[in-house]
């Protein structure tokens, strides 16, 4: 199957300075990011988990799978590319796979984390979900909850949902982005733990909107896509990823998504 979001030819990114370093709770390692260009033409780059010795995470593969899944389900999202690249981190050269994405803001637009916007605009006694409903974002939040459930996303904190503010003052939710801390991300290259993972396990999360349980969120706020997921979608979701991830990981990724979809449809 021909895909356009994976670049297999080795690219030279050794001149990139990975200026942003972040850690994630519950996962050992650092996540390196960089920006190339300015304004609406900026491109954002990020690597999978860096242990200080090697780049051993699957987060960049997860972003591609999540992006393709949302394309199938008709959910507005940030498009990622997966690029085979040479990079230099702290003076050490690595051959790895990285993500590249474009700026989703239009000229003159500003962005703000939903957590900050909520604190500035909330009404007394209003929780984050009620706040989003009042602003007309109920369907967008339900879509996000569905994809987070399907990919077992552990990291939808207050800054992983953004509000876009137009020069006129109008606001909208940004496309769904930053989905890497999902699927088998916490297990790195531990194939035994990957193979043993229960696809329906209700993983611990950092959800800012709704409950901490992904399962409870989709129970309470279901959303029906116009096009259901099908078993034949496996080929599309995993196309071109054979060089970037081992078969045990790709097989388990599909098992997680498909079994969770079947559970959700049964609702």
Q: Is 159 within a domain?
A: yes
Can you give the C-alpha Rg of the chain in angstroms? 18
* Domain extent for 241: 6-266
Q: Which of 112, 118, 154, 159 is nearest to 135 (CA)?
A: 118
Tell me if 18 is assigned to some domain: yes
| In-domain check, residue 89 | yes
1 inside domain = no
User: What is the mean pLDDT for each group of 10 consecutive residues in the chain (267 residues)?
Assistant: 88 91 56 86 92 91 98 97 96 96 91 97 97 98 98 96 96 96 92 96 94 96 96 97 96 98 95
- Residue 226 included in any domain: yes
In a 3-state reduction of DSSP, which class is residue 46?
Answer: strand
Q: How far is CA 78 from CA 1, 71, 75, 202, 216, in A?
A: 22, 10, 10, 25, 25
Cα separations (Å) of 82 from 62, 69, 98, 164, 169?
A: 10, 15, 6, 26, 35
Question: Would you say residue 256 lies in a domain?
Answer: yes
Which residue in this structure is represented by tokens 């060089």? Answer: 243
User: What pLDDT does residue 162 have?
Assistant: 97
User: What secondary structure, in 3-state letters, does 8-45 show?
Assistant: EEEEEECCCCCCEEEEECCEEEEEEEEEECCHHHCEEE
Position of tokens 């709770």? 25
Specify whether the CB–CB gap between 47 and 96 falls below 8 A: yes
Dihedrals phi, psi of 89, to nearest 5 degrees: -125, 115
Residue 217 lies inside a defined structural domain of this protein: yes
Give the tens place of pLDDT for each residue, 22-57. 655 444 458 899 998 887 788 999 999 998 889 989
pLDDT tens digits for 141-178?
A: 999 999 999 999 999 999 999 999 999 999 999 999 99
User: How many domains are contained in the chain?
Assistant: 1
């Amino acid at each position: 199957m021909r895909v356009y979001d994976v670049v297999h030819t080795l690219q030279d990114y050794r001149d990139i300075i990975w200026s942003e370093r972040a850690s994630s709770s519950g996962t050992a390692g650092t996540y390196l990011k960089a920006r190339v260009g300015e304004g609406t033409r900026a491109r954002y780059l990020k690597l999978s988990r860096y242990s200080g010795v090697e780049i051993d995470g699957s987060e960049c593969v997860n972003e591609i799978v999540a992006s393709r899944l949302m394309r199938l389900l008709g959910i507005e999202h940030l498009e990622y590319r997966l690029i085979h690249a040479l990079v230099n981190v702290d003076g050490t050269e690595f051959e790895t796979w990285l993500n590249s994405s474009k700026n989703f803001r239009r000229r003159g637009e500003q962005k703000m984390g939903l957590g900050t916007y909520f604190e500035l605009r909330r009404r007394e006694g209003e929780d984050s979900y009620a706040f989003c409903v009042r602003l007309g974002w109920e369907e967008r939040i339900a879509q996000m909850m569905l994809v987070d459930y399907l990919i077992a996303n552990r990291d939808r904190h207050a800054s992983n949902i953004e509000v876009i503010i137009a020069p006129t003052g109008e606001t909208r939710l940004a496309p769904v982005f930053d989905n890497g801390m999902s699927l088998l991300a916490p297990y790195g290259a531990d194939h035994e733990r990957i193979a043993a993972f229960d696809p329906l396990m209700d993983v611990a999360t950092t959800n800012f909107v709704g409950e901490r349980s992904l399962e409870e969120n989709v129970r309470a706020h279901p959303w029906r896509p116009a096009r259901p997921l099908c078993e034949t979608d496996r080929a599309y979701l995993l196309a071109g990823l054979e060089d970037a991830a081992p078969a045990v990981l790709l097989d388990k990724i599909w098992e997680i998504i498909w079994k969770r979809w079947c559970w959700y449809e049964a609702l």
